[in-house]
């Protein structure tokens, strides 16, 4: 007879527990949810737990409807008060992704639907980020939606850099030494469709692939996988500008 078990899952900002009992199907029981008038009916685009204050959850809100005129919100929730955030940061652009720094957990990075990468210090009051490439003429600024940002350790060198991926096909590494300095790690190119006849899609490789997410391989810190909206996964290296299509 199968043993009863429970497992906690997160769905947006709803926390539910899955209970399995002998002879019955799995059921989800609502434990609690983070919601208030400010965030009600808003789209949760990402969330991240703080590595030091493990009671602190950052949630970004940014509508995926590109016709929406709503601003972006970063809400910082704790289990002490699920009915209202400890703090709310408002931003003129819709925020599509966020992540706390592991080396400096007071820092949180975010990306927006119109290509901005910004960094906030949650110890400082106000909505203004300490760094942002929000000028249209900013060097390295993404020309399309930023779908993911990650703080990436530099291995034996120590420290962290910030990496972003965007629908413009670029994977970019950002440094905080002098403002937000950038280095293009990869320009993702669309792959030929093997079902098409030779020559039918010539020139497709010169079109950018819409980057969607990425993940660094822990055993090989210079190697990462990048996925696109076209369901293609690339194996990439920080040392080379070439990709291997998976």
Of the candidates 181, 162, 159, the residue with the CA atom closest to the CA atom of residue 171 = 162
Q: How many CA atoms lie within 13 A of 86 on its CB side?
A: 14
Global pTM value? 0.81
- Can you give the pLDDT at residue 7? 33
pLDDT tens digits in sequence order for the chain, 246 residues long? 343 333 333 334 676 656 556 655 677 888 888 999 999 889 999 999 999 999 999 999 987 666 667 889 999 999 899 999 999 999 999 999 999 999 999 999 999 999 999 999 999 999 999 999 987 667 789 999 999 999 998 776 678 899 999 999 999 999 988 888 999 999 998 876 555 455 554 444 447 899 999 999 888 888 999 999 888 999 999 887 655 555
> Rounded to 5 degrees, what angle do the CA atoms 49, 114, 175 make?
60
Containing 91, the helix (H) or strand (E) segment is strand 87-91
- Can you give the pLDDT at residue 48? 97
**Cα 155 from Cα 218, distance rounded (Å):** 10
| Tokens at 92, concatenated | 């003129």
Sequence spans of domains, the chain: 1-33, 34-245
- Can you give the pLDDT at residue 12? 47
- How many CB atoms sit inside 10 A of residue 189's CB? 18
**Cα 173 from Cα 191, distance rounded (Å):** 23
Of the candidates 134, 230, 116, 244, the residue with the CA atom closest to the CA atom of residue 186 = 244
Phi-psi region of 41 (alpha: psi -120 to 50; beta: other; left: phi over 0): left
Query: Residues with Cβ < 8 Å from 141, sequence gap 6 or more?
Result: 115, 116, 117, 133, 135
- Can you give the pLDDT at residue 4? 37
Q: What is the CATH number of domain 34-245?
A: 2.130.10.10
- Can you give the pLDDT at residue 5? 34
**Cα 101 from Cα 162, distance rounded (Å):** 9
List 150's β-bridge partners, or say none.
163
């Amino acid at each position: 007879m199968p043993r009863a078990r429970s497992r906690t899952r997160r769905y947006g900002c709803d926390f539910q527990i899955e209970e399995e009992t002998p002879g019955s199907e799995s059921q989800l029981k609502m434990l609690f949810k983070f919601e208030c008038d400010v965030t009600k009916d808003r789209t949760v685009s990402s969330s991240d737990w703080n590595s030091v204050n493990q009671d602190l959850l950052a949630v970004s809100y940014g509508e995926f409807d590109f016709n929406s005129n709503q601003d972006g919100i970063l809400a910082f929730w704790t289990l002490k008060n699920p009915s209202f955030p400890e703090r709310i940061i408002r931003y003129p652009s819709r925020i599509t992704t966020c992540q706390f720094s592991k080396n400096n957990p007071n820092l949180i990075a975010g990306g927006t639907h119109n290509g901005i990468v910004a960094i906030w210090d949650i110890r400082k009051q106000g909505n203004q980020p300490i760094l942002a490439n929000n000028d249209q003429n900013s060097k390295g600024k993404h020309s399309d939606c930023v779908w993911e940002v990650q703080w990436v350790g530099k291995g034996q060198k120590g420290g962290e850099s910030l990496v972003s991926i965007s629908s413009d096909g670029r994977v970019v590494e950002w440094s905080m030494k002098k403002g937000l300095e950038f280095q293009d790690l990869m320009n993702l190119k669309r792959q030929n469709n093997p079902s098409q006849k030779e020559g039918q899609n010539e020139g497709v490789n010169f079109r950018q692939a819409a980057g969607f997410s990425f993940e660094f391989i822990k055993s090989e810190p210079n190697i990462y996988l990048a996925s696109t909206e076209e369901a293609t996964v690339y194996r990439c290296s920080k040392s080379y500008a070439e990709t291997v299509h998976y």
